Amino acid sequence: MNAIRYYSKFGHSKQMAEAIENIVDAKAATVAEPLTEPVDTLYLGAGVFLGKVNGAVTDFIASLTPDNVKCVVLFGSCAIIESPVPQMRKALEARGIKVCDKSFTCKGSMGPLHSGHPDAQDIDAFKQFIQSTTQQ
């Protein structure tokens, strides 16, 4: 069984999460929804604000254990820094949770900066990435 969780202030991570529902056979939900049963792969996504992922994401990560999550695939978007993924990876690995080496990040608009992103091409590339993680 798989699960998808995201935190999304402007709908970018939500858009990404919903794009993979059919591929991974799971319903996208926000990090406010705790996992209710053990999962094989958790797909977790977020943006970054003033250099940090939102506290709701770190709170969600703090609720996870290696017993209820076999492995995590991370994704995200941002406008300035390279990726929000390393912050989430660090918090998960500190809890002993296995994180897939591969992750996906695309540009996420911030006002006029990277306007329109994630766009259709970003979403297509993301879907292809997710396909590749399910074929391992």
Residues near ligand FMN, by CB under 6 A: 8-13, 47-51, 77-81, 108-110
CB-wise, 85 or 108, nearer to ligand FMN?
A: 108
CB-wise, 11 or 96, nearer to ligand FMN?
A: 11
Work out how close the CB of 136 gets to ligand FMN at its nearest, in angstroms, rounded to a whole number.
Answer: 26
Work out how close the CB of 128 gets to ligand FMN at its nearest, in angstroms, rounded to a whole number.
Answer: 19
Q: Closest residue (Cβ) to ligand FMN?
A: 108
Which residues lie closer than 8 Å to 48 by C-beta, 6 or more apart? 76, 78, 81, 84, 87
Nearest to 48 by CA among 127, 107, 123, 130: 107
CB-wise, 68 or 109, nearer to ligand FMN?
A: 109
Work out how close the CB of 96 gets to ligand FMN at its nearest, in angstroms, rounded to a whole number.
Answer: 27
Q: In the sheet that 69-78 helps form, which strands lie side by side, from edge to edge?
A: 28-30, 2-7, 39-46, 69-78, 104-107
How many whole angstroms separate alpha carbon 23 and alpha carbon 73?
A: 14
CA distance between the termini of the chain: 16
Work out how close the CB of 25 gets to ligand FMN at its nearest, in angstroms, rounded to a whole number.
Answer: 22
CB-wise, 3 or 114, nearer to ligand FMN?
A: 114
Phi, psi (deg, nearest 5) at residue 23: -70, -40
